């Protein structure tokens, strides 16, 4: 059984690596789903040789890395936006004050402390500055409140091709804005395709308690990480 657990740990690590290729909001669930299959493979009575079962479990885990790229990189970002939100379009620098005012106003309404509200305004400004830098058209900013967090979503027509944008580490050149935003916000989801890019920022509301500790997948995949 102990050699089993070592194989399981290795397989879980491979699955964790695959899950890092997925958007934040679906990582956790996929990790749980895929690792839950491991005992069934390792104890499969249909395979006679234990070595075969181990090989199959590891192949199963490793192949998710390939599959993760083909999974829809979205949990349909536009469907969960609620009616209590605000929306503003931007096409140039002149629209910055309007966007800032909207975010600040909604953050205040939602009960976000003033310092965090400023952080959120800065984050949104960084994202729309990116949009204006890399695309010729503007975009759309939405803000709304969910149960225990405030969400801002920026949609534009760009397509992020630079892989360093996905990395959580600070890139040597460029993309500092996105890095900064990741440091400030509790969660950053990015969906990008040739049809456009959606960036969604999450900031937990005060009094939301420790929910985020296990509900929000950290980049280390702290939830259910192999010991």
Partner 1 sequence: MKLTGPLERVLRVFLADLSARQYGYELMKAAKLPSGTLYPMLARLEAEGLVTSQWEPQPQDAGGRPPRKYYQLTGEGARVARLELAQAFKATRRITHDTGRPATGSAH
CB 27 within 8 A of CB 19: yes
Neighbouring C-beta atoms of residue 129, cutoff 10 Å: 13
Tell me, residue by residue from 48 to 87, as one string, x for binding to partner 1 by CB under 8 A and - for no binding.
Answer: -----------xxx-xxxxxx-xxx---x-----------
- Using the rule CB under 8 A, give the single segment among 29-37, 114-122, 140-148, 203-211 that binds partner 1: 29-37
Q: Which of residues 9 and 37 has its CB atom nearest to partner 1 in the complex?
A: 37
Please report where in the chains the tokens 């975010």 appear, as a residue: 103
113 binds partner 1 (CB under 8 A): no
CB 219 within 8 A of CB 168: yes
* Interaction of residue 39 with partner 1, rule CB under 8 A: yes
Contacts of 86 by beta carbon, 8 Å cutoff, 6+ apart: 102, 105, 106, 142, 143, 144
User: 67 near 17, Cβ under 8 Å?
Assistant: no
**Binding of partner 1 by 40 (CB under 8 A):** yes
Q: Is 90 in the site for partner 1 (CB under 8 A)?
A: no
Residue 36 binds partner 1 (CB under 8 A) = yes
Note whether 9 binds partner 1 by CB under 8 A.
no
Residue 200 has which token pair? 């969604």
Under rule CB under 8 A, residue 33 binds partner 1: yes
């Amino acid at each position: 059984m102990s050699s089993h657990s070592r194989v399981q740990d290795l397989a879980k690590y491979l699955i964790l690596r695959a899950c890092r290729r997925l958007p934040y909001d679906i990582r956790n669930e996929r990790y749980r789903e895929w690792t839950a299959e491991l005992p069934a493979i390792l104890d499969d009575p249909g395979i006679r040789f234990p070595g075969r079962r181990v090989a199959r479990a590891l192949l199963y885990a490793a192949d998710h890395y390939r599959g993760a790229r083909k999974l829809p990189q979205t949990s349909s970002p536009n469907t969960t936006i609620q009616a209590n939100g605000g929306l503003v379009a931007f096409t140039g620098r002149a629209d910055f004050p309007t966007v800032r005012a909207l975010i600040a106003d909604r953050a205040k309404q939602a009960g976000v402390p003033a310092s965090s509200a400023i952080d959120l305004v800065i984050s949104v400004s960084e994202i729309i500055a990116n949009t204006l830098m890399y695309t010729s058209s503007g975009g759309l900013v939405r803000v709304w409140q969910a149960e225990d967090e405030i969400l801002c979503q920026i949609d534009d027509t760009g397509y992020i091709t630079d892989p360093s944008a996905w990395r959580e580490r600070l890139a040597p050149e460029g993309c500092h804005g996105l890095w900064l935003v990741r440091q400030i916000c509790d969660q950053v989801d990015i969906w990008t395709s040739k049809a456009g890019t959606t960036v969604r920022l999450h900031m937990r509301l005060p009094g939301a308690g420790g929910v985020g500790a296990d509900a929000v997948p950290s980049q280390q995949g702290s939830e259910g990480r192999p010991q």
